[in-house]
Amino acid sequence: MTDKLKSLLPENLNEPKSHAELMRHKSLTQKAFPHVRMRRLRRTDALRDMVRENSLSVNDLIYPLFVEEELDTPAPINSMPGVMRETEKSLEAKMKEVAKSGLKSVMLFGVSHHKDHTGSDSMNPNGLMARMIDRAKQAAPEVMVIADACFCEYTDHGHCGPINTMGDVDNDRTIENIAMQAVTAAEAGADMIAPSGMMDGQISAIRHALDVTGFTHIPIMAYAAKFASVFYGPFRDAAGCSLGQNDNVPTHRKSYQMDPANGREAIRDALLDEEEGADILMVKPGMPYLDVLSQLRQKSDLPLAAYQVSGEYAMIRFAAEAGALDYKEAMMESLTCFKRAGADLILTYSALDTAHWLENS
């Protein structure tokens, strides 16, 4: 052994040492650096790929689509750059595009022109919800169609169910209706039901209704922790379900959607949905609630979904248009964050773009 190499090795502790020398040696050997260097595994693309803990694929993505009846041509949504309201006719071409991209699933939202107090058109086997589900399945049978089961797009007041005499959404009437809505969607060909109204008992009501009508095989993706968030603003423009159109109803959804300040309540609510028979649990919005998603991952073994909602998507798009950041890089980073926090599935308006990026990466 050369003298140079000996000089690099720790001193022999069997040799007599002064107290000061022993303390100095102990201090040096207890420090990880310079022997442990975290940057070693970050040096090259190959190393980074080798040790990457989470990855994103088209199998993880769900593409939300808006379908407006009585519309002649697809219409852009100003508050959501790159997103369109599809017509019932153009939905066919869009579904074929989705299938070609490799995406496996879509979620359909109707923009109704036949609204009433209860949202009855969504329970009509000839209504918009049933028609768009049927058209989507006919166009691309291999793509899974998820039906958003809610009434806000179909009521004339914009709330997620009929209003009771106290001026609030009637929980129990709503879950009776949503059970019928879910069966209507299943009969039209929906592959999955996703109730988003945050009504107590809605999962149990839907599960029972599906089971007794022969749809035991249809899974339910529960909007298990859906917060009363400002980040839904662009969606409400897109779906035509903004509040304030009727003076006799509340101008907010805080009596049924969750308080953004409450994390423990969100976990409790989600686990109740699991008990009622949900097959997948969703946290909505996404990035502002990564802590809830991560905590839920520790509590439940069910597949988890995160919804990158319209406001999150719009912020990235508008920031990119202003030159403040790169759209692709920002979007890919944010979607990967959902996977890191515990999401198995991600709903995002960028799904089609992301599928193309992944294909070309």
pLDDT at residue 4 is higher than 60? no
- What pTM, to 2 d.p., does this model score? 0.88
The mean pLDDT of the chain is 90
One of 3.20.20.70, 3.40.50.2020, 3.40.50.460, 3.40.1280.10 is the CATH number of 57-359, namely: 3.20.20.70
Q: Which residues pair with 233 in a beta bridge?
A: none
**Binning pLDDT at 50, 70 and 90, where does residue 268 land?**
very high
Give the least confident one: 110-119, 226-235, 249-258.
249-258
Residue 13: predicted pLDDT: 45
SS3 track for 52-86: CCCCCCHHHEEEEEEEECCCCCCEECCCCCCCEEE
Rounded distance, CA 68 to CA 35, Å?
A: 62
pLDDT at residue 164 is higher than 50? yes
- Whether 284 is a known active-site residue: answer yes
Task: For 38-82, write each residue's pLDDT tens digit.
Answer: 999 999 999 999 999 999 999 999 999 999 999 999 999 999 999
Give the active site residue among 115, 137, 226, 339: 226
DSSP string, 309-336: -HHHHHHHHHHHHTTSS-HHHHHHHHHH
Task: For 287-341, write each residue's pLDDT tens digit.
Answer: 999 999 999 999 999 999 999 999 999 999 999 999 999 999 999 999 999 999 9
**Binning pLDDT at 50, 70 and 90, where does residue 242 land?**
low
Average of per-residue pLDDT across 102-126: 95
The radius of gyration computed from the CA coordinates of the chain, to the nearest angstrom, equals 26
Which residue in 71, 129, 79, 141 sits closest to 105, CA to CA?
Answer: 141
Rounded distance, CA 74 to CA 216, Å?
A: 36
Rounded distance, CA 186 to CA 212, Å?
A: 12
Average of per-residue pLDDT across 161-168: 86
- Find all residues with CB under 8 Å of 257, minimum gap 6, and list them: 198, 226, 227, 228, 229
Quick count: other Cβ atoms within 10 Å of Cβ 28? 10
C-alpha distances (whole Å) from 259 to each of 139, 141, 228, 290 are 40, 39, 6, 15
DSSP string, 124-142: -TTSHHHHHHHHHHHH-TT
Give the active site residue among 104, 115, 137, 284: 284
Is-contact 109 239, C-beta < 8 A?
Answer: yes
Which residue in 153, 76, 162 sits closest to 113, CA to CA?
Answer: 153
Q: Which residue has the tokens 């996703």?
A: 194
- Whether 115 is a known active-site residue: answer no
Rounded distance, CA 111 to CA 67, Å?
A: 6
